[in-house]
Structure 1
Amino acid sequence: MERPEQVAHAGTAEDSVKIIPLGGLGEVGRNMCVVEYKNDIIVIDVGFGFAEDDMPGIDYTLPNISYLDGKQDRILGIILTHGHMDHVGGLPYLIQRLGNPPIYTANLTRAIAIKRHQEFPHLPELDITLVDPKEHNKITLGQFEIEFFHVNHNIPDDVALIISTPAGRIVHTADFKFDPKPLNEQPADLDFIRSIGDRGVTVLMSDSTNAEKEGKAVSESVIQDNLEVIFKEVTGMLIVGTFSSMINRVQQLVTLSERYGRKVIFDGFSLKSNVEVAKELNQISIKKETQIPISDIDRYPRNKITLIGTGAQGEGRAVLMRIASGEHRYMQLKKGDSVMFSSSVIPGNERTVQRLKDLFYRSGARVYHYGMMDIHASGHAHKEDLRLMHQLIRPKFLMPIHGHYSMMVNQSYIGQEEGIPEENIIIADNGSIVHITPKSWWMDKKMAPSDIVMVDGLGIGDIGSVVLRDRQVLAEDGMFVIVSLIDSKTGKVRGSPDIISRGFVYLKENKELLMQVRKKVRLIIERKSTRPINWVDLKDILRDEIGLFLFQKTERRPMILPVVIEI
């Protein structure tokens, strides 16, 4: 894959440090980045992404790691910044192909990665070394020295990185925000971060997810106050939808439930798994008598129960959708119950979330969501948080990461406002090979492979664009199968062609159309069935001509599957 050569400064490739983002740029999710110097390679995060609307049947998307094929013995370690799936979820699918290198991360992230890995019993155990960002632990991997420091996010144990290289220091912020009153942890140490800038930083790689949002990120303390307002108001059962990895939010809900005398039920596999991990590490404090199994839901008054579940994005078989549609095994929604969406809407999920909210309203429930009041805080820095990070670090070069292209560009504007020359700002893409020296940067014309790798069931990367396009056609206009028998001696059609249709038209109500198709199939075959019959050409002609005929009649384009049998 190639791109127009983009050169900001001259430099020598032999002495440069290379930064190769394999995911997370121009998108939200699928985060993975390679840092390389001569024979030494480190990898930052191995995340997955969620399938988009135009990917029917796809479970997850992964970074393309073809660039690292044949270089496994040079990978000195993987650094995981935090426990969200868009940063660690790709490990079980890719760790063997990466050569099972050692992993370095903080306590909660380690536990989440191991718990996730246990779902894949055929894989070898992960080799994980714990680091403590609050102690500014350092590790040396080849030519790289990595120092860890604490930043706030919406999950504990988020780590940012100072990577000392022959080209100077690279600071990787991870996902972060500045929160003066975070939950269950200390605020980021601004004096320490300022001291990093005092040492001199060549490149700042900074989270861009909320670079288009004004002001500062909302503090978790504000969320706590607003959640308490709702707890005071609700009279029936409280059902809360949130992301399963938002351990801090779960703690807030548990604390308020205990304060107002409510039992807590966790429902949803990923949520229950993460809660158990967090409890083992004392990242969640919950009294033994507070948590009850969902099978005991009818043993307590409805106004004494908080149910925390998954599915706030409207996922079809998740907890919230099963409750809203009346298909939950243990509970039925009743008038007077309340539903709270303590989560944002991921772009692309607006329709499914709206449908879910409407189902709750139709059931007579009262619905609260973050559009009404601050009951969800993003874990990502807003403009003023980013500005502060730039002021503290004062880098020579800025490389926005983690966000859509517009988000990265908006962070570049902040960098320019803080004195970074435009030519010192690196707007890269997935697959860009960025060279860094102490005084210059440039990109290779050739790019690393960066196309999306799709996970479908047990298959990884075996679903290509052709298969996906076929699925899209089937999903939109269905399929139309034509089965025809041809007399081997005469080349004439035997009997009437059979028509099988799925997802196109209801055959019983379109008999006239089917009669016309059968007649046209017969004419095409008898006109084109030369001796000997060229089966490939005949099927192509049937596919094209019947496809055009059906479009003229219906303005739909089903997948045409001709089956021609010689007898």
Structure 2
Amino acid sequence: MTKKTRLSFSSLSIEPEKPAQAPPVQERKKPTKSSTYQYAKKKYGSSGKGVRPFDSRNHPKNAGSIKIPPPEKGVVRVITLGGVEEIGKNMTAIEIGDDIIVIDAGMHFSTDATPGIDYVIPNTTYLEERKDKIRALIITHAHLDHIGGAPLVLSRIGNPPVYSRNLSILMMRKRQAEFPHLPPMKENIVEKDSVITCGKIKVRFFGVTHTIPDSMGVIIETEHGWVVTPGDYKLDQVDGIVSAEEEKEYSIFDKAKVLLLMTDSTNIENEGFSLPEIKVHQGLENLIKKIHGRIIIAAFASHITRLAFIVKFAESLGKKIAIDGRSMKTNIEVAIEAGLFQPKKGTMISLEEAQNYPPNKVIILMTGAQGEEFAALNRAANKSHKKFALHKGDTIILSSSIVPGNELQVQKMKDGLSRQGVKIISYRTAGEDFVHATGHGNKEDIRWLHKKTHPKFFVAIHGNHFMLELHKELALEIGMPEENIIVPDNGSIIEIPANGEKIALRKEHAPSGAMMVDGASISDTQDISAIRRISSSATA
């Protein structure tokens, strides 16, 4: 019989050249899988975390301990630790001399390939072995695929100072509060035009447009030019004409020498420019004004700009707003604390109070547009919601696209909703009244950024491998030499030598097997088939 162990984050440590020691054997519990952020929050609280290195691909680059020499003098080293070969758990490190800057520390939730696992964070082994060199963790924006792993990552890499803008720091405080057994975060609020020094490295910031306020790009200054990453972004534009404010933000690059651009590949398949958010605001305005009856709007809890707009527009029509969903309530509370908007007194009411108002005087904001098992809208769809029931004549606006992999659960939820006599409006059925726009730039947004920054070298990030290859094709089309382009894997080590004249991949890889976070007991074996066997036997 295979032994089962609980791996507690607070007790598990990985020291250079020393293997981790397993905690005492405990009785195996039934594995559970969270579908939503709020479920993960409820499950963990102040308890210990199971964190375990795990390589789902059994790639040889993760086998054993590989000695990776430090970068030579003047070399710019980039290590892609997450966010390539995948969507999510973004993390990149820049190493110059004796200084390392880490950009983002994201997560993604488990998939069918990782049963019994709650979520996944990037492998931090390379950083743990060099924690004395880490000068900062810089967060580009406060989405979970960029901040979700931060509390666990920070404690493993020496708890370096964290730099980000106001909303992002406030959101990270909320995330950090879920881990009271970990050291407090060393937070530092910066502005979009701030300049800081981390060790011997000078770092600049610039504002970008995304679905969450206070998003920012990062500039690392080197002797041969700037290393630039905008994080997640789209252009504030209409019909391809970029707004004056956006032009002003990016004017920082007009006379700059950009050595390396690393940028988002998420929407590289989508032709044209991305739909501007203002079009969604106009579409929601039209729908809210012409719908008679109660309106339920389901959206991503992280789309704070859109949620704030809905609240303010509801106020202008004399409507009340009720919020159902812990993550959405939390995010709106943080946005108000950050001063991003301020509802009038009496606008925000409880779900229970909403029952006392005429249907046409209430808008209910809900989590669950992805059909998540425990989210508010899905519980309404399957009639398991204890405080809310749908009525014939209600209109549900799904103000989101469907995340790949969620199609079946969204369809099941829509079936449950439609059986209750409600009208459903989605991005596919809304016509000219747009109800959703992506927060990532399409192909022409990306082309514009390349031309604006005019980099010497380019590394494609944030996307599955085929997306990165498509991004490479775009860079070639624009005129960049193929030898100046890198399509990395997780764990790739990229170097620009001291003369700044070429870019290359090192033969070594940083350890890249994902770190699985699990509150349940798991097998000692680092083999995904073992995890599957445990999950299957526990639910048989």
TM-score normalized by the length of structure 2: 0.82
- Residue among 174, 178, 199 paired with 1:115: 174
Aligned: 1:180 with 2:240: no
Structure 1, 160-169 or 342-351: larger mean CA deviation? 160-169
- Residues 1:414 and 1:209: Cα distance change in structure 2 (over 3 Å): same
Paired position in structure 2 for 1:370? 427
Q: Which residue of 2 aligns with 1:448?
A: 510
Question: In structure 1, what residue type is equivalent to 2:437?
Answer: A
CA deviation string 1:528-558 (max 9, x = no partner)? xxxxxxxxxxxxxxxxxxxxxxxxxxxxxxx
1:245 is aligned to: 302
Which of 469, 475, 491 is matched with 1:415 structurally? 475
Distance 1:475 1:233 in 2: 49
In structure 1, what is the equivalent of residue 9 of structure 2?
none
Q: Find the counterpart in structure 1 of residue 138 from structure 2.
A: 79
SS in 1 for 2:78: strand
Higher helix proportion: 1
1:203, distance to aligned residue in structure 2 (A): 0.5
2:409 equivalent in structure 1 = 352
1:18 aligns with 2:80: no
The answer to whether the aligner puts 1:432 opposite 2:496 as a matched pair is no
Is the Cα–Cα contact under 8 Å of residues 267 and 308 in structure 1 kept in the other structure? yes
Distance in 2, Cα, partners of 1:114 & 1:458: 25
Give CA-to-partner distance per residue, 1:15-72, whole Å, 9 cap, x none. Answer: 3111001100111110001100121101000111111122222211100001112311
Displacement, 1:116? 1.3
1:341 pairs with 390, 398, 411, which one? 398
Residues 418-457 of structure 1, C-alpha deviations (whole Å, 9 max, x = no match): 1111121111111000001311111111100111111112
Q: How far apart, CA to CA, are the structure 2 residues paired with 1:46 and 1:187?
A: 32
1:162, 1:169 within 8 Å by CA — same for their partners in 2? yes
In structure 2, the residue matched to 1:310 is 367
Q: Which residue of 1 aligns with 2:22?
A: none
Instruction: Tell me the amino acid that sits aligned with residue 109 of structure 2.
Output: F
Match of 2:280 among 223, 232, 250: 223
Which amino acid counterpart does residue 164 of structure 1 have in structure 2? Answer: E
Stretches of structure 2 that go unaligned for 5 or more consecutive residues are 1-59, 63-70
Query: Does 1:162 find its partner at 2:182?
Result: no
- The amino acid of 1:270's aligned partner reads S
Report deviation, 1:474: 6.4
Identity of aligned residues (%): 39
Alignment of 1:152-551 (within 5 A): 152-180=209-237, 189-373=246-430, 374-437=434-497, 438-457=500-519, 465-466=526-527, 468-473=528-533, 503=540
Instruction: Tell me the C-alpha RMSD between the 2 structures.
Output: 2.1
1:415 Cα deviation from its structure 2 partner: 1.2
Q: Is the aligned partner of 1:62 residue 2:121?
A: yes
**In the aligned structure 2, how far is the partner of 1:48 from the partner of 1:130?**
22
Could you tell me whether the CA contact under 8 Å between 2:165 and 2:190 is conserved in 1?
yes
5+ unaligned residues in a row in structure 1: which ranges?
4-11, 480-501, 504-567
Between the aligned partners of 1:335 and 1:325, the Cα distance in structure 2 is 15
SS in 2 for 1:19: strand
Contact 1:197–1:395 (CA under 8 A) maintained in structure 2? no
- Alignment-derived partner of residue 33 in structure 2: none
More moved, 293-302 vs 92-101: 293-302
Tell me the CA shift for residue 313 of structure 1.
1.1
- Counterparts in 2 of 1:216 and 1:116: CA distance versus 1, 3 Å: same
Once residues 312 and 462 of structure 1 are traced to their aligned partners in structure 2, the CA distance between those partners, rounded to angstroms, is 34
Q: Answer with 1 or 2: which has the greater Rg.
A: 1
**Paired residues, what number?**
465
